[in-house]
Amino acid sequence: MVEPEVYKEKKNELFDEKLKLTEQIARISKSGSAWLEPMREFVISALQAQKIARAKNECHDLAIMAKTVGSNYSL
């Protein structure tokens, strides 16, 4: 059995999360182009990664680019 306090806390957390997601959906539906800027940045990063990979760069340059491209979790 779940304690009433634990239940209320979890319920409030889930309600807050639902509210945030609902607001986010409304904002995306309203603007419709929320994905364009992140996609643009992804394409630019991919092109830069290709140039760095094909050029004769040091491992340090490759590591920095891999870290930059690999750390964008919003896509």
- Map out the domains of the chain as residue ranges: 1-32, 35-75
Q: Which residues of 33-70 are buried (b: 16+ CB within 10 A; e: fewer)?
A: eeeeeeeeeeeebeeebeeeeeeeeeeeeeeebeeeee
Q: Which of 2-16, 22-36, 54-68 has the lowest mean pLDDT?
A: 54-68
pLDDT per position as a tens digit, 14-34:
999 999 999 988 887 777 666
pLDDT at 36: 76
- Measured at the CA of 25, the angle between CA 11 and CA 27, to 5 degrees, comes to 125
Q: Which residue has the higher pLDDT, 62 or 30?
A: 30
pLDDT at 56: 73
- How many residues are given for the chain? 75
Token output for 33: 């182009």
